[in-house]
């Protein structure tokens, strides 16, 4: 088991690589988490080392393609820090970005706290705590040079490949009455159009949101009002490069875009 000093030291290594835009092969053995619990302990220490504040949460690997991309068998939760949020329509730097993909996502801003409790939250309970729905784009990356071989525990410690995030405006449509499973956002990139599918997000973006609430519950953490949860890509990760413009059109649910330099 990693002790408190080892957890803090592992977090410092990852934060330094994040700030410098550099990569490492692996955490040295004495600092390397061996379980999801140890990975989340290191991730929590990352939050205290970040210059930003906790903006919300992301879910990595909610689709089969996402799981294959980082070689894991199921979802991972990560923190979105305020200093990594890019304004809708803004420009994201490609500096230090090795993964180089963009992901269209369904995001929710919470209106009520969901604190830890003995029993899991249902999808209905979690949805009742949501304030607004937003289209979003995630730009993931890893501090590991070979992220596909880093393993689940190290990727969780690495903040579940969190890097940059773009939040679109709150939708004015009645999203609660819509079947998000069958929503098909259209992504425009380098003159080509790609079509996502809500069912790619753990079968249903709403189920993914409930998964996140319960993952935090298991960790003894509260999903707080005002925090944003982005639920994972609805399309296989799309390669990006400097000069690209990534636009995601969620129809009546809204639009979101970002450029890359």
Number of H helices, E strands in the chain: 6, 13
Give whole-number Cα distances, 81 to 19, 84, 175, 225, in Å: 13, 6, 26, 16
Q: What is the pTM of this model?
A: 0.96
User: Quick one: which of 10, 40, 206, 224 has its CA closest to 127?
Assistant: 206
Distance, CA of 26 to CA of 258 (rounded, Å): 31
Token match 């929710």: residue?
Answer: 108
Q: State the pairing for strand pair 164-167/186-189.
A: unpaired
Distance, CA of 80 to CA of 57 (rounded, Å): 5
Residue 59: the pLDDT is: 97
Residue 193: the pLDDT is: 98
**Burial class of 258 by CB neighbour count within 10 A (0 to 12, 13 to 18, 19+):** buried
Residue 61: the pLDDT is: 92
Distance, CA of 215 to CA of 200 (rounded, Å): 19
Residue 140: the pLDDT is: 96
Residues listed for the chain: 261
Could you give the residue ranges of the DSSP H alpha helices within 71-161?
A: 123-128, 152-157
Query: Are the C-beta atoms of residues 208 and 59 closer than 8 Å to each other?
Result: yes
Tens-place pLDDT, residues 62-99: 988 788 888 898 899 999 999 999 999 999 999 999 99
State which residues of the chain have pLDDT below 70.
none
Residue 67: the pLDDT is: 86
Residue 13: the pLDDT is: 96
Assign residue 254 a region: left if phi > 0, alpha if psi is -120 to 50, beta otherwise?
A: left
Distance, CA of 109 to CA of 229 (rounded, Å): 6
Helix (H, G, I), strand (E, B) or coil at 5: helix
Burial 130-142 (b: 16+ CB within 10 A, else e): beebbbbbbbbbb
User: Quick one: which of 55, 258, 20 has its CA closest to 139?
Assistant: 258
Residues 6+ apart with CB under 8 A from 46: 11, 14, 15, 79, 157, 159
């Amino acid at each position: 088991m990693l002790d408190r000093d080892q957890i803090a030291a592992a977090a410092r290594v990852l934060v330094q690589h994040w700030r410098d835009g550099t990569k490492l092969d692996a955490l040295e053995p004495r600092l390397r988490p061996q379980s999801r619990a140890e990975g989340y302990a290191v991730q929590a220490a990352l939050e205290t080392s970040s210059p930003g504040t906790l903006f919300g949460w992301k879910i990595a690997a909610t689709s089969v393609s996402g799981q294959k991309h980082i070689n894991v068998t199921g979802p991972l939760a990560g923190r979105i820090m305020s200093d990594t949020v890019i304004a809708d329509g803004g420009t994201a730097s490609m500096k230090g970005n090795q993964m180089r993909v963009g992901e269209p996502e369904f995001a929710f801003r919470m209106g009520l706290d969901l604190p830890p409790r003995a029993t899991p939250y249902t999808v209905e309970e979690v949805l009742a705590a949501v304030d607004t729905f937003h289209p979003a784009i995630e730009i993931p990356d890893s501090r590991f040079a070979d992220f596909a071989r880093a393993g689940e525990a190290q990727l969780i410690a690495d903040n579940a490949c969190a890097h940059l995030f773009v939040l679109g405006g709150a939708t004015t449509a009645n999203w609660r009455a819509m079947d998000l499973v069958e929503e098909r956002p259209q992504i425009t990139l380098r003159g080509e159009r790609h079509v996502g599918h809500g069912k790619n997000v753990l079968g249903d973006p709403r189920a993914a949101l409930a998964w996140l609430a319960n993952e935090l519950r298991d960790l003894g953490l509260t999903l707080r009002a005002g925090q944003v949860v982005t639920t994972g890509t609805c399309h296989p990760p799309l390669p990006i490069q400097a000069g690209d413009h990534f636009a995601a059109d969620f129809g009546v649910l809204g639009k979101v875009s970002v450029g890359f330099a």
